[in-house]
Amino acid sequence: MTDRPKTTLRDCIYGLAVGDALGVPYEFRPRGTFECADMIGYGTHGQPAGTWSDDTSMTLATCDSIRELGHIETADMRDKFVGWITRGEYTIDGVFDYGGTTARALHTGKGGSGERDNGNGSLMRIAPLAFTDATDEEVSKVSAITHAHRTSTDACVIFVELMRDVLNGVLPSWVLQLKDVPERGIRSGGFVRDTLKAAAWCFVNTNSYEDCVLAAVNLGDDTDTTAAVAGALAGTAYGIDAIPQEWIDTLRGKELIERCLF
241 is in an annotated binding site: no
**130 and 66 Cβ atoms separated by less than 8 Å:** no
140 is in an annotated binding site: no
What pTM was computed for the model?
0.96
Handedness of CA 149, 151, 152, 156 (dihedral sign): positive
In the chain, the number of structural domains is 1
Write out pLDDT tens, residues 172-229: 999 999 998 999 999 999 999 999 999 999 999 999 999 999 999 999 999 999 999 9
CATH of the domain at 71: 1.10.4080.10
Write out pLDDT tens, residues 81-135: 999 999 999 999 999 989 999 999 999 999 999 999 999 999 999 999 999 999 9
55 is in an annotated binding site: yes
54 is in an annotated binding site: yes
13 within domain boundaries: yes
1 within domain boundaries: no
Residue 60's alpha-carbon distances to 12, 64, 100, 262, in angstroms, are 12, 6, 20, 10
76 is in an annotated binding site: no
Q: How far is the C-alpha of 173 from the C-alpha of 127, rounded, in Å?
A: 20
3 is in an annotated binding site: no
Range of the domain at 220: 6-260
